[in-house]
Amino acid sequence: MGDSANSGDAGKTGRVTVVGSLNMDLVARAPRLPRPGETLAGHAFAQVPGGKGGNQAVAAARLGAQVAMIGCVGDDSHGATLKGSLEAEGIDCTALATSADAPTGVALIVVDDASQNAIVIVAGSNAEVTPARIEAQEALIAQADVIVCQLETPPETVRAALAAGRLLGRTTILNPAPAARKLPPDWFPLVDYLIPNELEAATLSGVAIDTPDDARRAAQALKAKGARNVIVTLGAQGVLALLAGAHDDGVHLPSPIVEAVDTTAAGDTFIGGFAAELARGAAAMDAIAFGQRAAAVAVTREGAQPSIPHRSEISA
């Protein structure tokens, strides 16, 4: 981690500010996911820095951007480890607060032998990322090219960050994860790039998704709500992109074919890579393709942040 000597990390251009969660991932590997009430014997355990915000920040940093993190950790060993891991990546942590009351967030993750996972998140200090913290970091948002948000911090904070980005003329990305319910209607016009996976897109749009054609219908429904661009990630089936000013049917981009080991941070790697490329001035379709290549590398490795590649590892 924090391989600052990696030649692909030299000459970072473009600024990304991530507003989001930081968790310590407690990861158990087992032959399969347990059924309700069942106890399974696992065969490995690890503690790994994670959280969607942290993962996306690390991905954007390793993949070419100057990154700042707005979040909150607890005053405990997990919090110190998470902050240290971000700083080791060269991420600006001046806006990373430490809670005096709440513990650092954790994610309990089981990964099966087919590389599928089940995750339970306990927010902890992530719940203390408040709209007031966003207001206090207006300068940090103003100097960013791209603002990235998820849904592991309070909803009012996410909306405040998106609204600040829109007001300041920054490009806004919302990864609506986890999406347990539909988004308020006034959120969509604040989002330049809405990037759900197939389950999140189905929840937000009401369209069941099994195929890229289903994803296309879901993306059209979400774009009609006001999101400028919608990108639905489909795992091994690739990405369905419905972009402003482009073909109304959207474009399906298949994923690179790789042998998957652990899909834990694949979506976060895609978003971090996509954001880094946008911040560097790349066209959206090129940024999508770059994010896909980065995610394809990540799924061949175990863990969340340890699996995220550096820019020099991504094929042209």
Separation of first and last alpha carbons in the chain = 23
What is the residue range of 190's domain? 12-21+53-104+124-308
Residue 165 near residue 15 (C-beta atoms within 8 A): no
- In angstroms, the CA 225 to CA 99 distance is 36
Q: What's the pLDDT at 302?
A: 77
Q: Is residue 135 part of a domain?
A: yes
Give domain status of residue 115, yes or no. Answer: no
* Domain CATH for 197: 3.40.1190.20
Would you say residue 197 lies in a domain? yes
Distances 273 to 10, 108, 309 between C-alpha atoms, Å: 16, 25, 10
Instruction: Tell me what pLDDT residue 236 has.
Output: 83
Does residue 179 lie within any of the structural domains? yes
User: Is 231 within a domain?
Assistant: yes
The number of folded domains in the chain is: 1
Tens of pLDDT along the chain (316 residues) come to: 333 333 344 467 899 999 999 999 898 999 999 999 999 999 999 998 999 999 999 999 999 999 999 999 999 999 999 999 999 999 999 999 999 999 999 999 898 998 788 888 899 999 999 999 999 999 999 999 999 999 999 999 999 999 999 999 999 999 999 887 889 999 999 999 999 999 999 999 999 999 999 999 999 999 999 999 999 999 888 999 999 986 678 899 888 878 877 777 899 999 999 999 999 999 999 999 999 999 999 988 877 788 899 999 997 6
**Predicted confidence (pLDDT) per residue in 221-269, tens digit:** 999 999 999 999 998 889 999 999 866 788 998 888 788 777 778 999 9
Amino acid in the structure at residue 211: T
- From the list 130, 86, 132, 76, the residue with the least C-alpha distance to 106 is 76
Q: Where are the beta strands (DSSP E) in 20-128?
A: 23-29, 44-50, 66-74, 96-99, 105-111, 117-122
What local confidence, expressed as pLDDT, does residue 249 receive? 80
Q: What is the pLDDT of residue 117?
A: 83
Residue 42 maps to a domain:
no
Catalytic residues: 268
Residue 8: the pLDDT is 41
Structural contact between residues 25 and 281, judged by C-beta atoms closer than 8 angstroms: no
Q: Quick check: is 2 in a domain? A: no
In a domain, 30, yes or no: no
Residue 208 has a pLDDT of 94
Round to whole Å and give the CA distance between 293 and 299.
Answer: 10
